[in-house]
Amino acid sequence: MARKRIISPEQQTADTEPAVSESNSHSIRPTTLAQYLGQAELRERLSVALEAAKDRSEPMEHVLLYGPPGLGKTTLAHVIANELGTRAWVTSGPALTKGSDLVGTLTRMEPGDVLFIDEIHRLPAAVEEYIYPAMEDYKIDFTLDSGMHARVVTYALQPFTLIGATTRAGLLTGALRSRFGIVHNIRFYETDELASILKQAVTKLEMNLVDEASLHCIASRSRGTPRIALRLLRRVRDFSQVRRDNVFTLSVVDEALKLEGIDDAGLDTLDRTYLETLSNVYEGGPAGVEAIAATMGEDAGTLQDVVEPYLLQAGYLSRTRQGRKITELGRSRLNSSSK
Ligand code: ADP
């Protein structure tokens, strides 16, 4: 089991599904494309697609979003539904175990609704087959009875937009991937973009007086991930309220984050353990992720999804044919954080 960690980009409350979103008013999730900050290229592509769809009164093209968790894929599905004036239905690959799970949702959807399937790479093959005709012709073929009496009934569906999200685009079948009109890689955010996201949240949360430098500091330690930035903001807010009389300054931020075990590059114990294992046990690599995971007592998939992407992006780790290798930067990071 993966350890719960404050900077885990994964959502920490279990998602119920299939759930209908209503753009919760108490939530700090953006509801419009304008509030969805960063990812300029993606926003541009989507605003064109949205406008074209609205002009033609058609559903928007199916969208596949891939990238590490916490970068705003689910949020975007809600934003798109909101911009289209429709609803988003949220489910996930592992939750759909048989074709009929999907049929229930698809037949309840209104014209133009958005169906969001998280972790779409974990969709069972049997369910995937239902999706193809649904995506292409807005219909599903349903087999009733079995053996001699088996008959196929075709259900016509309302036109809808499928938004698929995955952390592992490579695991998707070519057949499924090719049915998406828009395929986009959601990237890690720049520190400035995260600082703007935090600023927006500070306003929504009605927090008083948080200076730019503090927000920037939190942003720079959030591994390029909005979910982590917002979570750290909440932790610092708690700390400042309980221990520092609501004072929210750079030094309070620093203290609060230290307490959470986050170093000045935003790495936490799990990241550092990964780099230490690679450096000490495997002499810097190359080593396979399975071997590193076994030594750490972690799940290899978790390391691949939530630890490695940022270490790679930050240049602490490199991936070679032979396996993972720590970089010079990674070594100096370890040295400076062990001081
Ligand atoms: P994912 O589905 O990729 O795991 P989410 O959509 O759940 O990520 O986003 C995590 C959190 O980060 C949400 O609470 C959302 O409010 C916030 N967030 C993500 N992307 C943005 C963005 N571009 N602008 C503002 N907030 C964002």
For residue 142, what are the β-bridge partners? 153
Q: Is 224 in the pocket of ligand 1 (CB under 6 A)?
A: no
Letter for the amino acid at 275?
Answer: L
- Separation of 114 CA from ligand 1 center, angstroms? 17
Q: Is 30 in the pocket of ligand 1 (CB under 6 A)?
A: yes
Q: Is 172 in the pocket of ligand 1 (CB under 6 A)?
A: no
State whether CATH 1.10.10.10 applies to domain 269-338: yes
Active site residues: 73-74, 118, 167, 227
User: What pLDDT sits at residue 184?
Assistant: 95
What pTM was computed for the model?
A: 0.88
Give, for ligand 1, the residue of 75, 78, 218 to mutate: max count of ligand atoms closer than 8 Å to Cβ.
Answer: 75
pLDDT over 70 at 6, yes or no: no
DSSP codes, 126-189:
HHHHHHHHHHHHSEEEEEES-GGG-EEEEEE----EEEEEES-GGGS-HHHHTT-SEEEEPPPP
The stretch 205-222 carries a mean pLDDT of 89
- Whole-number Cα distances in Å, 192 to 229, 294, 302, 306: 12, 37, 28, 22
In the chain, % of residues over pLDDT 90: 71
pLDDT over 80 at 177, yes or no: yes
Q: In the chain, what are the domain boundaries? A: 39-185, 269-338
Q: Is 36 in the pocket of ligand 1 (CB under 6 A)?
A: yes
Q: What CATH number was assigned to the domain covering residues 39-185?
A: 3.40.50.300
Query: From the centroid of its chain, how far is CA 151?
Result: 40
The stretch 227-241 carries a mean pLDDT of 93
Q: Which of 335, 334, 316 is nearest to 325 (CA)?
A: 316
Residue 266 falls in which region: left (phi positive, over 0), alpha (psi -120 to 50) or beta = left
pLDDT over 80 at 23, yes or no: no
User: Is beta strand 317-320 parallel, antiparallel or unpaired with respect to 323-326?
Assistant: antiparallel
Report helix, strand or coil for 264.
coil
- Separation of 119 CA from ligand 1 center, angstroms? 15
